[in-house]
Amino acid sequence: ERAPWLGEVRAVLSGYLGEAGQAEAVASLVAAVKEKTPNALYVCDPVMGDSGGLYVPEATAAAMRDKLMPIADIATPNRYELEWMAGAPLPDIKAVTAAALHAGPS
C-alpha cells in the first residue's frame, strides 16, 4: 500500500486466500489502489470450493463473501461458490442469475 508506484496500478485480482484475515488485507489494498486510481478494477475470484464442498475454512469463505464480494467490480464465482454464498441450491439458470445479481457487483 505504501509503494511509490501504487498510482500506476489499474487492477487488483484476488483468488485463493489461506486464512480469513487475508480478506481484510486485500480490502485495504483495493481501497488504497482506488484512492490513487478511482477507476481501477477489482476482480474477486472467490476460490473457496467446488462440487466436493469447501476447501477453505468456513471463516475464510465467509470473509470472501462478506468483505471482498461487496467491493468487487467483477466477480467470478463458480456455481458451487455462488450457491454457498447464496445459502441455497441454484437448480437452473434463472436461479443462478438471480443469485449472481444479488451476490456482489452489479
Q: What are the boundaries of each domain within the chain? A: 6-103
Residues forming beta bridges with residue 44, ordered by sequence position: 14, 75
CATH topology of domain 6-103: UDP-N-acetylmuramoyl-L-alanine:D-glutamate ligase (3.40.1190)
Residue 75: other Cβ atoms inside 10 A: 21
DSSP 8-class letter at 18: S
Give the model's pLDDT for residue 105. 82
pTM value?
0.90
Per residue of the chain (106 residues), give pLDDT as tens. Answer: 989 999 999 999 999 999 999 999 999 999 999 999 999 999 999 999 998 899 999 999 999 999 999 999 999 999 999 999 999 999 999 999 999 888 778 7
Buried b (16+ CB within 10 A) or exposed e, 1-38: eeeeeeeebeebebeebeebebbeebbebbebbbeeee
Three-state DSSP class for 62? helix
